[in-house]
Chain A
């Protein structure tokens, strides 16, 4: 497994660990957050973002120390093609999500529901980005 594929796996795991529980929590509805409906989701989001950064930081450090310099070469044309493909796929997910959140949700939802929906689509775009990276490296692996 190449260094860049490991980084993509790490990013996927960090997002699943951090944002998975967050979205499960907020999907239960706003009632547990009364009487400060804006403070609790914001604090929780800050907490999961810090958790994600800690996982990524520790993971990067572990992979960097565990991989000799020759296993971390600069991007070549295949890496750039994979990056381009994955970003294109993520872009369409993000655009579709933002159209949904910005153009349709204001007629049916309010406040934190819209904010969390926007965060969800940003995370979904990131998940698509790293998933396409992993899938591309897996499909092109020689054995």
Chain B
């Protein structure tokens, strides 16, 4: 299985949108401030629907909010 992790640019996008607070972003998409904080910190992966809603709030494609960082794994000799 491919190894990797999800990173996001929510903090940057909030800053670029008039220093939007976590609570404001949460209100827009129906999540709590604590959930937004957990997503930002990479400790909770949101549902696909919530991810699309976040992208919609910032008016950017989903790929600009969330990135899949592939971890390089050495190939096993067969």
**Which of A's residues lie within 8 Å of B, judged by CB?**
2, 70, 73, 76-79, 137, 139-143
B22 (CB) vs chain A CBs: closest residue: A142
**Which of B's residues lie within 8 Å of A, judged by CB?**
23, 26, 30-32, 34-35, 37-38, 40-41, 43-44, 46-47, 50
**A-B CB contact pairs (8 Å), 11 listed:** A2-B32, A76-B26, A77-B46, A77-B47, A78-B32, A78-B35, A140-B44, A141-B37, A142-B34, A142-B37, A142-B41
In the complex, besides A76-B26, A140-B38, 13 extra interface pairs with C-beta distance below 8 angstroms are A2-B32, A73-B32, A76-B30, A76-B31, A77-B46, A77-B50, A78-B34, A78-B35, A137-B34, A140-B34, A140-B44, A142-B37, A142-B43
Tell me the minimal C-beta distance from A16 to chain B in angstroms: 25
B43–A139 contact, CB under 8 A? Answer: yes
Tell me the minimal C-beta distance from B18 to chain A in angstroms: 20
Tell me the minimal C-beta distance from A82 to chain B in angstroms: 10
In the complex, what residues of B have CB within 8 A of residue A2's CB? 32, 34
In the complex, what residues of B have CB within 8 A of residue A143's CB? 41
Tell me the minimal C-beta distance from B11 to chain A in angstroms: 11
In the complex, what residues of A have CB within 8 A of residue B32's CB? 2, 73, 76, 78-79
Tell me the minimal C-beta distance from A133 to chain B in angstroms: 13
